[in-house]
Structure 1
Amino acid sequence: MYRLVIAEKPSVAMSIAKVLGATARKEGHMEGGGWLVSWCIGHLAGLAEPAVYNPDYDKWRREDLPILPENWRFTIGKDKREQFDILRTLLRREDVSEVVNACDAGREGELIFRTAYHLAGCTKPMKRLWISSMEDSAIREGFDNLHPGSDYDGLHQAALCRQKADWLVGINATRLFSVLYGRTLNIGRVMSPTLALIAQREAEIAAFEPVPFYTVELACGGMTLTGERISGKEDAAAIAAACEGSTGILQTVERREKSEKAPALYDLTTLQRDANRILGYTAQQTLDYLQALYEKKLCTYPRTDSRFLTDDMESSVPGLVSAAAVICGVDALGTALASHVCSSKNVTDHHAVVPTKSAADSDLAALPQGEREILRLVSLGLLRAVCPPHRYAETSLTAECGGHRFTAKGKAVLDMGWRVYAAPSKDAALPDGLAEGQSLAVDAVQVKEGKTTPPKHFTEDTILQSMETAGAGEMPEDAERKGIGTPATRAAILEKLVATGLVERKKAKKITSLLPTQAGSSLVTVLPEVLQSPLLTADWEQRLEEVERGELSPEDFMAGIAAMVDELVKTYRPVPGAAVLFPSDKEAVGPCPRCGGAVTESKKGFFCENRECRFVLWKDSKFFTAKKKTLTKSVAAALLNKGRVKLTGCFSEKTGKTYDATVVLEDDGTKTNYKLVFGNG
């Protein structure tokens, strides 16, 4: 008898097969040692398109909405049918006694496996491989401690609910708004609130009015003292004049020793943020590089929201730190404070992202640059996290000069601690020997002018932070899942916003910002609150967590989503005059004779872009077909721009001969007609 192992990707399956001794290559799987090892190639099947439920749904019509399937159907991707057939055969083999789910240890991995398992009609016992590293030792340990598949039924239900909820919102809302506004407008359960955040930030920037302010600075014995902000330029000049050639008196001098704890280890989101800020990588690029490193056994599992290791990993930390030091080409700093990075109570499905111990023995130079840079960043994160705090002495002083108050601050490093692996601080120390009551000769005085600055455009770093914390202030204190989306999905959401033309990346001065396009800003303008509220999305994520834990039934979760979609379709009304917000990206053939709007070409005719106008020139008009002429784009352009067009070789049904004439367009506001004019008429 055999046990069948199903991985998410061929590369992962090969690593597992090697460890299990399944070395005989067969069609679509490996075999040996009592094991069969195969793979899924990602999602082999997905939820069916609406037309599968009803052929009429092939056309987008408001009267068909909402589309709420009672019995959900799946379709297998055309390019994945062959591998699914192989898996189905393996799952049904009489000599297979048990199936091991070795897909990625997370929500989507569970969904990928279970969908294939159920579509194949399999009912054989299931076990779950749950590992955070692809190292051989981790795989062996994982197979020595396989979990019952039923332990992850809740995870599968949450994944299925997420998939169905995204389908319901995406299909119904996208069709509704596209039909109402005459342009394909992609709406998503997580995508739309993210778009709203970006559009709101740009609105704040556009509405911002800078306010000038002035500060007086005194140069005194090698340090700079700064006065308070002043709104009036003349007032600042008066203060400067009072201090010119004067002497300042130190009022207070305070020295405090402070410490700064090392940052925690990386989870996916914090790594994506740092990789964007430091390396300029997009969130998706970072995830792709990290996934490749995981499959090459150089990094641990990427899609994690934990920033700690488990308590039982404490003894392995020194070895991981040594590997990280080799990867970064630096010396490890003293004793690794392993207890600082180990906390099982702060670990969810997977621990933080760290390099594997074997990564130090790999040929790092052979890695693609992106993977090498991310591996180095992950390793630096580990080196910092196990270091003692950064300690420094901060001196702050106040001085009086010309009847006004001035301040200065300085820092002196006492112990670099974790900052030995970080960019050096730019703060300078103040001179030694400063004391209260001391006189300070004013060497120079200057008035500096500044302006208040608007909020900054979102970068991938800052939008990820906002997605992670959106709505958190209004969520319950014990809510485990806050913010928009999950660490595993946020990169894909940003990529989809760009791919669908709602957001664009714009680079200026080495910083790439995320900006809403005209279509993106317009869409947010017409979206109801229910589709753009980050609080609602965060609440959905929290409810998915409850489904996973068995605290909320999948039926109740889906009922809430269906009710929201139903209410949206039945109650939403187009924003008056919003047609101007969504200009067509089609080339204008000419002006509409009724409303002056743009007339563009479609498959069946030339339509006014103003959907309330209803003006159209049909391509299959009997007026032209009877004369064996075609209403081409050039003919339509002449009729719209000049009101007439000359046609040669028109066929006469009465005589069977041809003739030349001028066609004149006549439109009374409700009906369109054509008139023939001969000669110079």
Structure 2
Amino acid sequence: MKLYIAEKPSMAAEIAKCLPGPVSRKDGYITTGDGVITWGYGHILRQAEPDEYDPKYQKWRAEDLPIIPQSWKLLVADSCKKQFEVVKSLIDQATEIIHAGDPDREGQLLIDEVLDYVHNQKPVRRILLNALDEQSIKKAIASLRDNRDFQNLKESALARSRADWLIGMNLSRAYTLAAQQAGHRTTLPVGRVKTPTLALVVRREREIENFKQVKYFTVKADFDQDGTVFTAYWKPQEEQPGLDAEGRLADKTIAKELFSRLQTSNEPATVISCETTEKRELQRLPLSLSTLQVMAGKKFGYDPQGVLDTAQKLYERKLTSYPRSDCEFLPESQQEDTGVIIANLSNLAQNELAGWAAKADTAIVSRAWNDKKITAHHAIIPTVVRCNFAGLSETERNIYFLIAQAYIAQFYPVHVYDQTRAELKYAAEAFIANGRIVKELGWKEIYSADTEEKKEEDSSMLPAMVKGDQPRFVKASAEKKSTKPPGRFTAATLLAAMKEIHKYVKNPDLKKQLKDVAGIGTEATRATIIKELIERGFLREETKRKYLKPTEPAYLLVDILPEEITYPDFTALWEDILHQMADGNASLDTFLLQQARFTASLCSKAKRMSIPLKGDHPCPRCRKGVLQLRNGKHGKFWGCSRYPACRASFDDKNNKPDIPAPTVRQQGQG
């Protein structure tokens, strides 16, 4: 018997439709003329909790940390016990197994871990479903691969899962206990990705709170060359007085003197140099999930989780390809579908997309088609299934629009323009003028309405000039400006920061190394992490723009944790190692050993750290904890937050600790 194991029931149903013979749905599986299809519900198995390794871990105690499993344990999730028995029984009956998990790191692990759990020895092949339309599924069934080819991908997912357990289980306990000893009645969840993400928002908020506005001046002049007026900006000399640390003109007196001198000078301006370079801007790549989430956030104000949920719906309706993709490239074999997809888009009941598709040239082969850039999945694109655009919800229409727009752009020419840079001398001062002339609008035609593209294309055009020309000075102006504080994160811009994490690392040596890393978290988890931080009360959304602001527990968590876990340096490096592992260039055992050592060192730091006390009654005995009201056998009493290290206790008197006044002798001793 051939057994397909899908990640979820919806995927199993689509596979069944594409297999020959009569289809019959049973309890937990589907039979067809060419095998049986069963499914999980995501992860059927879960990581064991610390107390499931040893009951003593049920109580949180600093002396038990770190908890490092010698042999990792998985347990069947309570909600999946019935389905697990179905899957296990079918594996026992199968002669051949086809792994049909999602085509990513996590999808690989959640079927593999079930096969390992039941000690499967039968041959396993892998189906990679990047889209759920009939043509794509049949093509994938005809292109099965040996599941052993994906061992590295599985180990990468396993490494991620176990590293997250080590960090989460140990550091959450270590720093919660440390905070509670200082009187903070709270639980502090620490996460390998979640914590540095939260810290980005906390640091940004503090930058805004501590921001000091700086006033400065920009000086520019208009010149006339053969009847065409253009603007050039003043360039300060190296020893120019009146500049601030950022090289801006901050001295009002010098700005006025400069403006006056420019206005009254009689000498002509002279072109010192004028260079024109042809620039070619390649087509914007198709979309990964993160790119889609950021674009949808900026254009429509959608939060990342909503974008993922909508992309998932479009995928399940067979209209777009697999959504949890971190890839922006396409397999070369997919070029055979371009004619059908573009024809479908040109017949859409959506004027813009239809108009753009009608002008697309499918003979153009953009850089997006590159087999070397493809792993288990490819960029998110429309499928060959015709879309009933009017039948979609507004959110679905908008997300489909962005996916289709990026796909159509692949069949427009390269954007070509001339970039000109002129340097002028006037009144013994240097001026720089920049301009561009678009020679071929190309793919930017379909993005011309976007604000960012408009800004770029609206840059001034310069007249033809050569070295030695003497344009006529028209007027000067000095504009007073003020620096602005950095903008608060939204869910979309925070997600973009997680993806471009190299911009936020503390160690300058790591910036270059991490520039090519795919950020922290994965395409599938980034939106969930941001959503959890909001739901657990560490971030809150404010105003219509839904700006993210940290709450008091967020400040506490970031302030008491060491930089190793609040800055993204280490997490980004680990993510890089996970990618190397997926490519077969890093070891699971070595990585986990490093994680265990790292976890142990941070647990030790938690035991030694000093945290500001929170409470109205500092403990008079140890002076390191605070007295907290408790209920005992004989009623209320006040005990030290550092119990059992400090066993100080006092009776309750009118809801305050009844602390005896020190005697004269005690005062002398103290």
Same-fold call, TM cutoff 0.5 = yes
Letter matched to residue 457 of structure 1 = R
* 8 A contact 1:247–1:439 mirrored in 2: no
CA distance in structure 2 between the partners assigned to 1:619 and 1:356 by the alignment:
67
Structure 1 equivalent of residue 89 of structure 2? 89
> What aligned pairs does 1:179-194 form with structure 2 within 5 A after superposition?
179-182=177-180, 183-194=186-197
Structure 2 equivalent of residue 342 of structure 1? 369
Structure 1 equivalent of residue 547 of structure 2? 513
Structure 2 equivalent of residue 16 of structure 1? 15
Structure 1 equivalent of residue 436 of structure 2? 411
Matched, 1:440 2:464: no
Structure 2 equivalent of residue 362 of structure 1? 387
Question: Which deviates more, 183-192 or 527-536?
Answer: 527-536
Q: Deviations over 1:578-622 (max 9, x none)?
A: 234xx8xxxxxxx54968xxxxxxxxxxxxxx9712343425425
- Superposed displacement of residue 409, structure 1: 3.4
Structure 1 equivalent of residue 234 of structure 2? 227
* 8 A contact 2:320–2:381 mirrored in 1: yes
CA distance in structure 1 between the partners assigned to 2:300 and 2:321 by the alignment:
21
What is the SS of the residue equivalent to 2:356? coil
* 8 A contact 1:298–1:356 mirrored in 2: yes
CA distance in structure 2 between the partners assigned to 1:90 and 1:15 by the alignment:
19
Structure 2 equivalent of residue 537 of structure 1? 571
- In the alignment, structure 1 segments of 5+ residues that lack a partner are 584-590, 596-609, 625-638, 646-663, 671-681
Structure 2 equivalent of residue 60 of structure 1? 60
CA distance in structure 1 between the partners assigned to 2:611 and 2:636 by the alignment:
34
- Superposed displacement of residue 355, structure 1: 1.1
Letter matched to residue 270 of structure 1 = T
Structure 1 equivalent of residue 301 of structure 2? 280
CA distance in structure 2 between the partners assigned to 1:398 and 1:121 by the alignment:
73
Letter matched to residue 213 of structure 2 = P
Q: Deviations over 1:277-309 (max 9, x none)?
A: 222222222222222222221111222222221
Q: Deviations over 1:356-412 (max 9, x none)?
A: 121xx2222222222221111011111223322222334444555555444443333
What is the SS of the residue equivalent to 2:75? strand
Determine which structure has more spread, i.e. the larger CA radius of gyration. 1
CA distance in structure 1 between the partners assigned to 2:528 and 2:267 by the alignment:
58
CA distance in structure 1 between the partners assigned to 2:518 and 2:387 by the alignment:
38
Structure 2 equivalent of residue 557 of structure 1? 591
> What aligned pairs does 1:447-486 form with structure 2 within 5 A after superposition?
447-471=478-502, 474=510, 481-486=517-522
CA distance in structure 2 between the partners assigned to 1:324 and 1:481 by the alignment:
34
* 8 A contact 1:324–1:382 mirrored in 2: no
* 8 A contact 1:394–1:410 mirrored in 2: yes
Structure 2 equivalent of residue 657 of structure 1? none
Structure 2 equivalent of residue 240 of structure 1? 259
What is the SS of the residue equivalent to 1:497? helix
* 8 A contact 1:176–1:569 mirrored in 2: yes
Letter matched to residue 87 of structure 1 = V
Structure 2 equivalent of residue 317 of structure 1? 338
Change (3 A) 1:500 1:240: same
Q: 1:667 aligns with which of 659, 665, 670?
A: 659
- Superposed displacement of residue 14, structure 1: 0.9
Question: Which deviates more, 341-350 or 254-263?
Answer: 254-263
What is the SS of the residue equivalent to 1:329? helix
Letter matched to residue 472 of structure 2 = L
TM-score norm. by structure 2 comes to 0.82
What is the SS of the residue equivalent to 1:341? coil
Structure 2 equivalent of residue 109 of structure 1? 107
Structure 1 equivalent of residue 604 of structure 2? 570
CA distance in structure 2 between the partners assigned to 1:278 and 1:669 by the alignment:
66
- Superposed displacement of residue 344, structure 1: 1.2
Matched, 1:523 2:557: yes
Change (3 A) 1:515 1:121: same
Question: Which deviates more, 464-473 or 5-14?
Answer: 464-473
The count of corresponding residues between Structure 1 and Structure 2 is 606
TM-score norm. by structure 1 comes to 0.80
Letter matched to residue 659 of structure 2 = D
CA distance in structure 1 between the partners assigned to 2:625 and 2:59 by the alignment:
20
* 8 A contact 2:175–2:606 mirrored in 1: no
Q: 2:200 aligns with which of 193, 197, 200?
A: 197
What is the SS of the residue equivalent to 2:627? coil
What is the SS of the residue equivalent to 1:270? helix
CA distance in structure 2 between the partners assigned to 1:102 and 1:266 by the alignment:
24
- Superposed displacement of residue 176, structure 1: 0.7
* 8 A contact 1:38–1:87 mirrored in 2: yes
- Superposed displacement of residue 461, structure 1: 4.3
Structure 1 equivalent of residue 172 of structure 2? 174
- Superposed displacement of residue 665, structure 1: 7.1
What is the SS of the residue equivalent to 1:330? helix
CA distance in structure 2 between the partners assigned to 1:575 and 1:594 by the alignment:
18
* 8 A contact 1:248–1:400 mirrored in 2: no
CA distance in structure 2 between the partners assigned to 1:620 and 1:165 by the alignment:
43
- Superposed displacement of residue 217, structure 1: 4.1
Change (3 A) 1:138 1:235: same
CA distance in structure 1 between the partners assigned to 2:290 and 2:498 by the alignment:
10
What is the SS of the residue equivalent to 1:100? strand
What is the SS of the residue equivalent to 2:66? coil
What is the SS of the residue equivalent to 2:355? coil
Change (3 A) 1:23 1:561: same
Structure 2 equivalent of residue 616 of structure 1? 629
* 8 A contact 2:2–2:97 mirrored in 1: yes
Change (3 A) 1:312 1:562: same
Q: Deviations over 1:522-541 (max 9, x none)?
A: 32222123323423223322
CA distance in structure 2 between the partners assigned to 1:104 and 1:537 by the alignment:
25
* 8 A contact 1:250–1:397 mirrored in 2: no
Q: 1:292 aligns with which of 293, 313, 333?
A: 313
Q: Deviations over 1:148-173 (max 9, x none)?
A: 22222232222222211111110010
> What aligned pairs does 1:107-146 form with structure 2 within 5 A after superposition?
107-146=105-144
Matched, 1:377 2:402: yes
* 8 A contact 2:434–2:462 mirrored in 1: no
CA distance in structure 2 between the partners assigned to 1:134 and 1:334 by the alignment:
25
Q: 1:215 aligns with which of 214, 218, 232?
A: 218
CA distance in structure 1 between the partners assigned to 2:570 and 2:427 by the alignment:
56
* 8 A contact 2:270–2:471 mirrored in 1: no
CA distance in structure 2 between the partners assigned to 1:416 and 1:141 by the alignment:
37
Change (3 A) 1:243 1:351: same
CA distance in structure 1 between the partners assigned to 2:477 and 2:511 by the alignment:
49
Change (3 A) 1:481 1:445: closer
- In the alignment, structure 2 segments of 5+ residues that lack a partner are 181-185, 236-247, 638-650, 663-670
- Superposed displacement of residue 481, structure 1: 4.6
Change (3 A) 1:429 1:162: closer
Letter matched to residue 131 of structure 1 = L
What is the SS of the residue equivalent to 1:258? strand
- Superposed displacement of residue 318, structure 1: 3.8
Change (3 A) 1:412 1:312: same
Change (3 A) 1:453 1:18: same
Change (3 A) 1:567 1:241: closer
Structure 2 equivalent of residue 306 of structure 1? 327
What is the SS of the residue equivalent to 1:522? helix
CA distance in structure 2 between the partners assigned to 1:572 and 1:130 by the alignment:
45
Structure 2 equivalent of residue 264 of structure 1? 285
CA distance in structure 2 between the partners assigned to 1:232 and 1:131 by the alignment:
63
CA distance in structure 2 between the partners assigned to 1:114 and 1:216 by the alignment:
65
* 8 A contact 1:250–1:398 mirrored in 2: no
Change (3 A) 1:144 1:254: closer
- Superposed displacement of residue 85, structure 1: 2.6
- Superposed displacement of residue 428, structure 1: 4.9
Change (3 A) 1:145 1:258: closer
Q: Deviations over 1:149-204 (max 9, x none)?
A: 22222322222222111111100100111111022111011222222333333344
Structure 2 equivalent of residue 488 of structure 1? 524
Q: Deviations over 1:490-536 (max 9, x none)?
A: 2222223223333333346x4x4333333223322221233234232
CA distance in structure 1 between the partners assigned to 2:5 and 2:289 by the alignment:
25
Letter matched to residue 260 of structure 2 = A
